[in-house]
Amino acid sequence: MVDVTPRKTPRQQRSREMDGFILEAAARILEEKGPEGFNTNRIAERAGISVGSLYQYYPNKAALLFRLQERENSATLDRVETCLCDGSRSHRDRLCDAVQAFFESEAAESPLRKGLQQAHIHFRHTPVFVEIEERALIMIRRFLAEARPDRTGNDEFEAQLLLIVLSSVAECLTERGMTGRELRHWADACAAMLANHIQL
């Protein structure tokens, strides 16, 4: 597998800011040019730095793609968690909101996944993905325990079921280029199906 390890971990404020500029530039280039136009020269130019300075942080474009995927997955989980923890909504509505947020995030990440595939990076086979998946399962188990305090059942199985179904359907739909109203319709249908299954 291609080396995707950053060359340095930013610790000082200036280094963290530079890393942020690079990642924001990389995200914009990916959004505007797609995976085919994603390269370190364009990213460095957009960030206002030399390619040599970029390489002090990331050894290649694969490492940038990997870091962007890690960052996007973390942001997606933050969005989903906000929905699931919204005490002003019913548990069923919270689940529906969370599914909508997840599907929208998956659609936005589609170019990133294509870029990773073209770079032969199998994100799902990395320790980073395992950590992200475990965080998602903890969040879902907590939601199920709160939503159904008196129900006896296999929360571990149902947490896995929700994660696998939603991940698989969202990835399938966004690979087909589905967005907007059609994607929202699928998200509503999936959320209703799962809410019924877990008896919300």
Which of these, 29, 31, 71, 33, lies nearest to 47 by C-alpha position?
A: 29
Show the tokens assigned to 62.
């694969």
**Non-local CB neighbours of 55 within 8 Å, separated by 6+ positions:** 7, 40
In angstroms, the CA 122 to CA 153 distance is 34
Whether residue 8 lies inside any domain: the answer is no
Structural domain count of the chain: 1
With respect to residue 68, please indicate whether it lies within any of the assigned structural domains: yes
Here the CATH number for the domain that contains residue 168 is: 1.10.357.10
Domain membership of residue 116 as a residue range: 13-197
Q: pLDDT by residue for the chain (200 residues), tens digit each?
A: 566 777 667 677 888 889 999 999 999 999 899 889 999 999 999 999 999 999 999 999 999 999 999 999 999 999 999 999 999 999 999 999 999 999 999 999 888 888 888 888 888 888 888 999 999 999 999 999 999 888 766 788 999 999 999 999 999 998 898 989 999 999 999 999 999 999 88
